[in-house]
Amino acid sequence: MAYAFSSLSQYYWQNDPFSSGINQKPRERDYDEDEEDFMGIEGKTLLCFCAGVLIICLICCARILHKVQDERSRSDEGQSNSKDPRNHTCSSCSKAEFNLTPNMKLILIFSAIFGATLCLETFVGHQVLRIKTRNEEEVKQLQLLESLEHLELDFWTSPSSPALPVDVRIPTNNIQAVKAFLESHGIKYSILIKDLQVVLDQEKQDMANTQQRERASSTFNYGTYHSLDDIYAELDHLAYEYSDIVCKFEIGRSYENRPLYVLKFSTGGTNRRAIWIDAGIHSREWVTQASAVWIAKKIASSYGQDPFITSLLNKMDIFLLTVTNPDGYVYTHTTNRMWRKTRSRNQGSLCIGVDPNRNWDAGFGGPGASNNPCSDSYHGPRANSEVEVQSVVNFIENHGNIQAFITLHSYSQLLMYPYGYKCTQPADYEELDALGRAAASSIQSLYGTTFTVGSICNTIYQASGGSIDWSYDYGIKYSFAFELRDTGRYGFLLPASQIIPTAQETWLGLEKIMEHVRDNPY
């Protein structure tokens, strides 16, 4: 079946010449019936279901076979002992019928392993290309390529301007076709990652090694990636160890009923001016969640010792949401490392999830967001449809005195302010731009990491339904989005060795922004 759909992609390329077919508008598709979407995007749901059915069938077959063997055994015994009533055993009470032999247990174990392996998304042979365009015409060709959904291309950075490189993950079956297309148009590219699965396997092994050391020492290593449970346990630890200034509370539940935990850093008082920071709204951007936990420790442990943090918390509160999209984050650990969206079900589609940073009520459904549930940029059925987004909105609105809204993303090393859904400058453009540049300078002062500063639309591309556009329109003047390391060498798979340096330099940028917010109430 997978081969059939692979052949379908090849058919498109073989029968649509580059000069004509590639320029055709993608056909409208019914996501209830379209087999391309069914197999290419969420087809593994069916395969996992089939694996489960297979395991159940094997269990039933094993029990039936065992019962037949048991009946034959009793029949043989009955023929020799039928005249002795003392040897009669009721078949319904036969204990052996409910036990599995070692061979049967082995079969079931292998079946379970098979099912788990089938459900795990692998990326063997997938490549990540870096494409550099020279003019607007080449950008348009890449945008057209991006629209061909049957190719299942994962654009890590979208084509928007000749000044910005484009990174794209390509499934194994479509690598040659995409390269042929690029070469036919004279578009230059290089290979960033030759085999994505090799990188993922190394990341997984590094995590396993670190977790072993952590278990032995009973300490939390801020320089590695962690599961959601480990992160939440560390939040509990921080709230306990620094209970004089830190408390943990829940602002809502995710689609799959996981808590959305916020840490509040405060020295007391009610409804004080506050700063909001969140991370991990896109689940595969692991360095953001990891940096947020480091930042939590930095704030908690520095009060009373660091003059800036002490001064800030004496006047303002900080609210930190370390994992904004917990369902997606868990899914990146258990099933698909490249998952970006939430895990909500979409009515009328087999495709799962919504892009939570296209779901806010700010130019909702406009340019830069997709109405295709199978797209990584799907905006959802309506603004705030995602419970994770609505929970943050409710908290911000109920608090009523949030002065800064800061969200952490990766990657590209950018520091951006509104707008994304339109390309006009915000009313506070001059102040936001100057503050962003000051923060970028602070970031660079530590390790020399350079950040590009500007509005979302003018820095990367037009993107509707974003969080900082909503917060700014809501009245939170100091609204910023960070895109952390790197600029594409590793992309979303930033080595764990770069977590702490990334968090340290990000903190310097946050510090500059928060200092300005502290000194400029409005």
104-154 tens-digit pLDDT: 555 555 555 555 555 678 999 999 999 999 999 999 999 999 989 889 999
**Looking at the predicted structure, is the pLDDT value of residue 162 above 90?**
yes
Alpha carbons within 13 A on the beta-carbon side of 257: 0
- Strand ranges, E, within 358-468: 402-410, 414-417, 452-455
Q: Please give the Cα distance from 392 to 252 (Å, whole number).
A: 8
Q: What is the mean pLDDT of residues 345-372?
A: 97
Which amino acid does the sequence have at 379? Answer: H
Q: Please give the Cα distance from 28 to 455 (Å, whole number).
A: 33
Q: What domains can you pick out in the chain, each with its CATH number?
A: 1-22+35-80+89-120 (no CATH), 122-194 (3.30.70.340), 220-519 (3.40.630.10)
Residues in CB range of 313: below 8 A, 6 or more apart:
245, 265, 266, 267, 299, 303
SS3 content of the chain, % helix, strand, coil (to 5): 50, 15, 35
Active site residues: 483
| Strand ranges of the sheet holding 452-455, from the earlier edge strand across to the other edge | 246-253, 259-265, 317-321, 274-279, 402-410, 478-484, 414-417, 452-455
Give the per-residue pLDDT at 99.
53
**Which run of H or of E encompasses 233?**
helix 228-241
Per-residue pLDDT of 412-452, as tens digits, reads 999 999 999 999 999 999 999 999 999 999 999 999 999 99
Per-residue pLDDT of 390-399, as tens digits, reads 999 999 999 9
Give the per-residue pLDDT at 508.
99
Average pLDDT, the chain: 86
Instruction: State if pTM tops 0.85.
Output: no
Give the per-residue pLDDT at 31.
34
